[in-house]
Amino acid sequence: MREHLRKLQSVVALVIMATALGFATDKFLTIENGVNVLRQISVNVCLSIGMTMIIVAGGIDLSVGSVLALSGAVAAGLLKTGLALTPLDVALQFTTLGAIVAGIAVGAALGLFNGVAITRFGLPPFVATLGMLSIARGLTMLWTGGHPITTLGSEFGFLGTGAVLGVPMPVWIAGGLTALFELVTRRTRFGRHLYAVGGNERAAALSGLSVNRIKLAVYALGGALAGVAGLLTAARLDSATPNAGFGYELDSIAAVVIGGTSLSGGRGTIIGTVLGCLIIGVLNNGLVLLQVSPFWQQVVKGFVILAAVAIDRASRGED
Amino acid sequence: MTRIAITAGILVLGAGLLWRYPLFHVVPLGQAASQERGETFNAKDRAEEYWRARIIPHLADAHDVATVFASLASDPEQARSRFGRTVGIGQSTFFLLRGEGTIVSFNKNRIGVALSDGTSGPNLLISIGPVFGNAVRDTTGAIAADEFSRSSDFNDLAAELNLLVENRVEQPLAKQAKVGRRVRFVGCIELRDDKAARPLTLIPLEAYVE
């Protein structure tokens, strides 16, 4: 019973916020604004699904914002100008599908690099991913020359600005990934292993789980999802900017924590994280509609995160 | 055995999908239109090329200035859609105009022109000073942003075209302009707001003083 009530906390908080904002501004409770909020949180949902799995497995990834930027930039660059293989005297002209695959592959590769640094070299996840935060941002600057890569074409743009049945594509993609990874974490062996590794890594190892392999996989998945977020960001803006995703890791971690995932690992759900994304999205949207200064928005958001974690810990009876 | 069959099936399916939906095409390096990244963008050369090939040929499409001004006065929205060109989601509309008038005033940055005989004050200003903005680049619609991989290249082109107009059109015009002389012109106007202060300022792309 208590567990059910705890799970409902995020939903209750969301309903209270939505009701209050509905009274405060008549622009909030409209279908158009609802779709707008969903579209705005799509990128954070993609990042946060990966972040949830990483945190559940006992890690953390501070590099997702930079990985997002590099993945988007690589996809945009390959799509726009291709890749010259000078020694072979040929060039690869990428199709839209090729650029998408390359963007996700870059994200996965960087995530895998994080995993290798953590599992093979024993670096703490905080330090390894902090290093990647800087590496990926620098590589993005090198790849783009510090300039945005713009006008990526309508096919690629459809990912970010298109709609099917009136629902924007980013919402479809974020929704699809939510369903897929909810299934993966709840119904598959890999999902159960994640919780086992995050709950007690030593016990998981002693019971025969390949802890390092699971960690490698989860960091690679987190990177790939950051790659998807990068594609959505570039497609939505029709531009891959070198400073894209700056600070997104904090929004992502906030959504995961608000959604009830324990920062010490072993506990959390994808659905909870999506609710966390929704709470942050509704909060951002509401503060904008209420014309609250952006400076105050940061302050309010910080307090909401603190309150959410405090309430969550109190409801679990933790110290 | 089952595992081998499944793996082989996946590989065949993957190969089929890649054949149907390729990730990239291999082209000879020299032929690749995709080599823009590898080239050093030379805004000056590109401005020269585009001026000759993309702007000058379009001057014949200019609308009569008196007609457009009359339309702007009566129905600005219709004038914008009928005679103007709006780029992206911007508020500005660009008009490519031609006309003639009498020079009635003159300073280091602007020439005041009375479009119709008998008008005492100027109802159009022609720039002979520094040119800013994207009007020269964007008015004809012949130069598209998606030809450029970097927005900075596109912006640099606008700056070079502005410089070219200053040197090649404005400076000769400024030397010949005298109050009382007739001037024939083709040029562009950027209208940000229907309530913009009149007279409007035209950037000349071609001008002759008689």
| pLDDT tens digits along A29-75 | 899 899 999 999 999 999 999 999 999 999 999 999 999 999 999 99
**pLDDT above 50 for B111:** yes
Does residue B30 carry a pLDDT above 80?
Answer: no
Q: Are B187 and B97 in contact (CB under 8 A)?
A: yes
Residue A270 to residue B156: CA distance in whole angstroms: 46
Torsion sign across C-alpha atoms A248, A250, A252, A254: negative
- Cα–Cα dist B86/B65, whole Å: 18
Q: Which tokens go with A194?
A: 């994640």
B27–chain A Cβ distance below 8 A for any pair:
yes
A2-6, A109-113, A179-183, A245-249: least confidently modelled range = A2-6
CA distance A231 to A214: 26
What SS3 state is found at B206? strand
B40 touches chain A (CB under 8 A): no
For residue B117, what pLDDT is reported? 56
B1 CB near a chain A CB, below 8 Å? Answer: no
Q: What pLDDT is attached to residue B119?
A: 63
Interface size between A and B, measured as CB pairs under 8 A: 86
Residue B177 in domain: yes
Q: Does the structure show a pLDDT above 50 at A166?
A: yes
Question: Minimal CA–CA distance to A226: which of A80, A109, A118?
Answer: A109
Q: Domain containing B101 — which CATH number?
A: 2.40.50.420
Average pLDDT value for residue range A227-235: 96
Asked if A151 has any chain B CB less than 8 Å from its own CB, the reply is yes
Distance from CA of B24 to the nearest CA of A (A): 4
User: What's the pLDDT tens digit per position in A136-158?
Assistant: 999 999 999 888 888 788 889 89
Rg over CA atoms, chain A = 20
* Average pLDDT taken over every residue of chain A: 90
Q: How far is B152 from chain A (nearest CA, A)?
A: 7
Does the beta carbon of A156 lie under 8 angstroms from any beta carbon of chain B? no
Contact criterion met (CB < 8 Å) for A81 and B37: yes
Burial class of B11 by CB neighbour count within 10 A (0 to 12, 13 to 18, 19+) = exposed
Q: At what angle do helices A96-119 and A211-237 cross, to 10 degrees?
A: 140
What is the DSSP code (8-state) at residue B150? B
Q: Comparing A32-41, A166-175, A180-189, B20-29, which segment has the lowest mean pLDDT?
A: B20-29
Does ipTM exceed 0.85? no
Mean pLDDT within B38-45 = 75
- Interface with B, mutate which of A80, A86, A155 (most B CBs under 10 A): A80
Q: In B, which residues are within 8 Å of A87 by CB distance?
A: none
Contact B23/A98, CB-based, under 8 Å? Answer: yes
pLDDT band, residue B38 (cuts 50/70/90): very low
Note the pLDDT of residue A183: 96
Cα–Cα dist A296/A303, whole Å: 11
Strand order in the sheet with A90-94: A83-85, A90-94, B24-28
For residue A110, the distance in angstroms to the closest alpha carbon of chain B comes to 21
- Shortest CA gap B148–chain A (Å): 8
SS3 A290: coil
Residue B124 lies in a domain: yes
DSSP SS3 for B97: strand
Q: How far is CA A219 from the centre of its chain?
A: 12
At residue B3, the pLDDT reads 83
> Does the pLDDT of residue B186 top 90, yes or no?
yes
* Res A319 pLDDT > 50: no
Which of B85, B60, B80, B59 is closest to B69 using CA atoms? Answer: B80
Note the pLDDT of residue A298: 84
For the stretch A282-286, contacts whose Cβ atoms lie closer than 8 Å and that sit 24 or more positions apart, written own/partner, are A282/A14, A282/A17, A282/A18, A282/A21, A282/A37, A283/A17, A284/A40, A285/A21, A285/A28, A285/A33, A285/A36, A285/A37, A285/A40, A286/A17, A286/A21, A286/A24, A286/A25, A286/A28
Domain ranges, residue B160: 44-209
Q: Report yes or no on B30 lying in a domain.
A: no
Six-digit token string for B42: 């030379």
* Beta pairing class for B110-114 and B93-106: antiparallel
Antiparallel, parallel or unpaired: β B201-209 and B63-64: unpaired
What span, in angstroms and rounded, lies between the C-alpha atoms of A122 and A109?
Answer: 19
Cβ neighbours of A153 in B, within 8 Å: 146
- State how many domains chain B has: 1
What local confidence, expressed as pLDDT, does residue A213 receive? 95
Res B88: pLDDT: 66
Is a pLDDT exceeding 50 seen at residue B65?
yes
Confidence bin at B34 (pLDDT 50/70/90) = very low
Mean pLDDT on A223-229? 97
pLDDT confidence bin for A206, thresholds 50/70/90 = very high
Distance in angstroms (rounded) separating the CA atoms of residues A71 and A224? 9
Look at residue A317 and tell me whether its pLDDT is greater than 80: no
Choose among B37, B42, B1: nearest CA to B157.
Answer: B42
Here the tokens at position B88 are: 């992206």
Query: pLDDT tens across A251-293, in order?
Result: 999 999 888 898 888 999 999 999 999 999 999 899 888 888 8
CB–CB contact B29 A148 (8 Å): no
Any chain B CB within 8 A of the CB of A94? yes
Residue B28 lies in a domain: no
Output the six-digit token pair for B5. 């069959």
pLDDT at A249: 93
Sign of the Cα pseudo-torsion (A276, A278, A281, A287, in order): negative
Rounded to an integer, what distance in angstroms lies between the CA atom of residue A242 and that of residue A226? 15
Q: What is the 3-state secondary structure (H, E, C) of A92-155?
A: EEECHHHHHHHHHHHHHHHHHHHHHHHHCCCCCHHHHHHHHHHHHHHHHHHHHCCCCEECCCHH
Q: In this complex, which of A80, A86, A239 lies closest to B29 when CB atoms are compared?
A: A86
Strands B63-64 and B93-106: parallel
Task: Tally Cβ neighbours within 10 Å of residue A307.
Answer: 12
- Give yes or no for a contact between B157 and B148, defined as CB atoms under 8 angstroms apart: yes
Task: Please give the CATH number for the structural domain made up of A2-316.
Answer: 1.10.3470
Tell me the nearest-neighbour CA distance from B155 into chain A, angstroms: 12
Beta bridge partners of A251: none
Radius of gyration over every alpha carbon of chain B, rounded to an integer in angstroms:
25
Q: Per-residue pLDDT for A115 more than 70?
A: yes
Q: Rounded to the nearest 5°, which phi and psi values hold at A311?
A: -65, -40
Nearest CA in chain A to B23: A98
Question: CA of A232 to nearest chain B CA: how many angstroms apart?
Answer: 19
Is the predicted pLDDT of residue A303 greater than 80, yes or no?
yes
Q: Which residue has the tokens 């995050």?
A: A198
Domain residue extents for chain A: 2-316
**Residue B34: inside a domain, yes or no?**
no
Determine whether the interchain pair B27/A98 forms a contact, defined as Cβ–Cβ distance below 8 Å.
no
Which of the four pLDDT bands, split at 50, 70 and 90, describes residue A237?
Answer: confident
Question: A61-65, A79-83, A264-268, B77-81: which has the highest mean pLDDT?
Answer: A61-65
- Which residues partner with B187 through β-bridges? B97, B204
Contact across the interface for B24 and A89, Cβ inside 8 Å: no
> What does the pLDDT average to over A210-223?
96
Instruction: Please check the confidence at residue B36 and state whether its pLDDT lies above 60.
Output: no
DSSP state letter for B106: E
Q: Give the predicted TM-score (pTM) of the model.
A: 0.69
Percent of chain A with pLDDT over 90: 63
Instruction: Kindly list the residues from chain A whose CB atom is less than 8 angstroms away from the CB atom of residue B38.
Output: 81, 84
* Mean per-residue pLDDT, A15-19: 89
DSSP letter string, B15-80: HHHHHHS-SEEEEETTT-GGGGGTSPP-HHHHHHHHIIIIIGGGGGGPEEHHHHHHHHHH-HHHHH
B22 assigned to some structural domain: no
- Check if A97 contacts B (Cβ < 8 Å): yes
Stronger pLDDT, A313 or A128, i.e. the higher one: A128
Whether B139 has a pLDDT exceeding 50, the answer reads yes
Decide: A315 and A302 in contact? Cβ < 8 Å.
Answer: no
The phi, psi pair for B133, rounded to 5°, reads 90, -170
